[in-house]
A and B are shown apart, each in its own frame.
Chain A
């Protein structure tokens, strides 16, 4: 394997994570009341790009885990890796809740200067907390490898 293989995949992964966290972070922060001048419908129209970014993180993340499986899926399974996947599943459930309960459509109607509902704020706060968690567990991957 060429020496630049791992840093190249990591760079791709990091770019995609930045795009993803950028979009998700801006939508969540706006729902929580930051930069209220932004209407939410055009902001939420960026969601497909967040999905594209997520797919790139998934592919590059899978490639990285295959390069050094001992660091993630083991055996023994890395605690940080297990926690990261759990948090991603929780994010998925939180997102399903957001769409299935009609909150997404309700938030689409929130224009410039308007406030969102308390339930939308809770979903956004949970989303931010879980994403911070995902970054935390990702950073801990190399420090907690083989801990189970």
Chain B
């Protein structure tokens, strides 16, 4: 049996995921969806502002103290990933088999890796970022935008 079918069956047999899928309560699926949206908007927003600064915007803003924001960004990433996995669990087959799902995951994983890579570089970057850091910042910006766009379009395929 295919791994997707196994996960689908497990989800259908799980009391928690069945409740999440079938309950009409706004505390069920809508609440998980809200946490996903809120955490993603904050995470992507804060990351994009840091990326823009590294690319040369808002030059009067010192770069090293921005590294202190990464703790909040990691909390945001964790909440986004956990809520995302929970929503995936309610409808494994449809969501995993979506044409845009692999692309979205590619953007998400790349964005998370770039966040980890950029954290230390932000702490040690003084007035202007090195060409390498600029490339990483541009890649991070593209990945967050790509993840959001892929997520939006996936719902319409």
Contact = CB atoms under 8 A, between A and B. Distances in A.
Interface of A: 3-4, 6-7, 10-11, 14-15, 17-23, 25-26, 29, 34-39, 41-43, 45-46, 112, 132, 135-136, 138-140, 143-144
Contacts, number: 102
A4 B30 contact: no
- Interface of B, secondary structure class, is helix
A18 B47 CA distance: 10
Interface string B3-43: 00000000000000000000000100010011001101110
Given A4-B156, A6-B156, A37-B68, A19 B61 contact: no
Contacts of A4: 153, 156
A143 B32 CA distance: 13
A101 B151 CA distance: 42
Residue of B33, B45, B72, B145 most packed against chain A (CB within 10 A) = B45
Residue of A10, A22, A46, A136 most packed against chain B (CB within 10 A) = A22
9 contacts: A17-B41, A20-B45, A22-B46, A23-B49, A26-B69, A35-B69, A37-B62, A38-B66, A45-B60
A94 B66 CA distance: 26
B107 interface: no
A63 to B, nearest CB: 14
B58 interface: yes
Contacts of B26: 140, 143-144
Listed from nearest, the 9 A-B pairs whose CB atoms lie closest are A22-B45, A37-B65, A35-B68, A42-B60, A18-B45, A42-B61, A139-B34, A18-B44, A143-B30
B86 interface: no
- Interface of A, secondary structure class, is helix
B149 interface: yes
B49 A26 contact: yes
A30 B34 CA distance: 24
B7 to A, nearest CB: 26
B114 interface: no
B135 to A, nearest CB: 21
A139 B37 contact: yes
B156 to A, nearest CB: 5
B133 interface: no
Contacts of B42: 21-22, 25
B58 to A, nearest CB: 6
A14 B148 contact: yes
Nearest to B28: A143
A42 B58 contact: yes
B62 A132 contact: no
Contacts of A15: 145, 148
A50 to B, nearest CB: 10
A139 B30 contact: yes
B14 to A, nearest CB: 22
